[in-house]
Structure 1
Amino acid sequence: MMREKIKIKKIDYLPARQVTFSKRRRGIFKKAAELSVLCESEVAVVIFSATGKLSDYSSSSIKDVIERYEARTNGVEKSDEQSLELQLDNENHTKLSTELEEKNRQLRQMKGEDLEELDLDELLKLEQLVEATLVRVTETKEELIMSDIVALEKKGTELVEANNQMVVLRERMVMLSKRNTGPALMEPSESATSTSCNSALSLSLEDDCSDDVILSLKLGRP
């Protein structure tokens, strides 16, 4: 007759629960001792009851077993973290190396190298890519040329304006120099004019005097 399998669930009846705890605890400790002896292993079992009572078993010093467990756990965690970081670094390095090799291969093919491994479709795609690249290069070159032309035209306009300003300044300087030298040039002509006027006046006076003498001579005759 088969033994009925007990359903694992919480025992609500407190006395039965305490009895079951005591029996199962002894059974666990017995199995741990057997495992330690049969397999020559270190075993430690720590149990806290529902009331907080501590029960433990260890094949050696439980403190040594716990310290060994903590050291092993911390070492494994650090080792796992280092392994994970190293694995990620290796994956990133492999990915970057693959991308770099692919870019170098595309660059060589755009230069006309390593074309033997390409089929007709890949060659057509490469041709379209080169043509599109050439169009962009030509457009960029034309933009730079137009930019240089505009800059040169602007510079030429600035030079013409500066030259015109220099001409205007030169003309003003000539006019100012003429104004400054004008009165000095007029002084001799004015003196000459006054001298001629004085001579004409003396001549007219002489003529008048001679007429009076002649008139007096005529009047004084018998």
Structure 2
Amino acid sequence: MVRGKVEMKRIENATSRQVTFSKRRNGLLKKAYELSVLCDAEVAVIIFSQKGRLYEFASSEMPRIVERYRKCARDAKNNTKFDRQLQLQSRVEAESINKKMELLQLSHRKLLGYGLDSCSLDELQVLDAQLQRSLFQIRARKAQLYKEQLQQLQEKERLLSEEKKKLSLKVTAHGAAAMHGCRRSPTSVVNTQLSI
């Protein structure tokens, strides 16, 4: 015969409730004993009846197990407090970073010329000063790049000028040698009269 599921609610009949308590208490204590023997676990079970009677099982000394439980509970509570503090600190840092990002985005938009309607005269003067500083830095960098480029071109011009002088000297030397060689050979003029 199959036993049906028991509905989990308080048993109204006092006699049935006492019988169920007694049977389940014994079963729970038996399971605790088996767990301690089979798995070499340290087990403690404390049960108080409805009338306040104490029933207990301990695989070793109950006070030692209870103290171990208290120590573990304190450590867990401390760890929970530390975790909460860490989470709170992380949340505060994240909110701070989000606010900074929003301010930077707003400042960036204003520097681009958007959202200036809500700005006061002082804020506009600050923006103007920032833009003037930025323009000064941009122009200084531009001038530096022009100067570097000019120096590179002047160096290139100098190298090309030197190469031109060398080539001119070679051409002059080659031309003089050719002229000198032409003077040695006898010049003869041949007159030919051709008629058809």
What is the one-letter code of the residue matched to 1:87? Q
Greater RCO, 1 or 2 (C-alpha within 8 Å, sep 6+): 2
Aligned residues: 123
1:10 aligns with 2:1: no
Residues 26 and 96 of structure 1, relative CA distance in 2, 3 Å threshold: same
Matches within 5 A, 1:1-222: 1-8=1-8, 9-10=10-11, 12-14=13-15, 16-112=16-112, 126-127=113-114, 129-133=115-119, 136-137=120-121
The one-letter code of the counterpart of 1:12 is N
Cα pair distance change 1:137/1:44, threshold 3 Å = same
SS of 1:130's equivalent? coil
Deviations 1:84-134 (A, max 9, x none): 12111111101211211331233244234xxxxxxxxxxxxx43x22553x
Relative to structure 1, the CA distance from residue 28 to residue 130 in structure 2 (aligned partners, 3 Å threshold; closer, same or farther) is same
What is the alpha-carbon distance in structure 2 between the residues aligned to residue 132 and residue 18 of structure 1? 77
Say if 1:64 and 1:131 are closer, same or farther in 2 by CA, change over 3 A: same
Q: CA deviation at 1:51?
A: 2.6
Structure exhibiting the larger radius of gyration computed from Cα positions: 1
Two-structure CA RMSD over aligned residues (Å):
2.7
1: distance between equivalents of 2:109 and 2:41?
64
Q: Tell me how far 1:82 sits from its aligned partner.
A: 1.7
Give the equivalent residue in structure 1 for 2:153.
Answer: none
1: distance between equivalents of 2:104 and 2:48?
66
Distance 2:26 2:93 in 1: 55
Unaligned runs of 5+ in 2: 126-196
The one-character-per-residue Cα deviations of 1:125-147 (angstroms, maximum 9, x if unpaired) are: x43x22553xx318x99xxxxxx
**TM-score for the superposition, normalised by structure 1:** 0.47
**Identical-pair percentage:** 33
- Kindly indicate which of the two structures has a greater share of residues assigned to helix: 1
> Quick one: structure 1 residues 27 and 132, their matched pair in 2 at CA, closer, same or farther if it must change by over 3 Å?
closer
The code of the aligned residue for 2:121 comes to V
Letter in 1 for 2:95: K
Q: State the TM-score, normalized to the length of structure 2.
A: 0.53
Cα separation, partners in 2 of 1:4 and 1:86, compared to 1, 3 Å: closer
Give the unaligned 5+ runs of structure 1: 113-125, 142-222
Give the letter for the 1:36 counterpart.
Answer: S
1:10 alignment partner AA = I
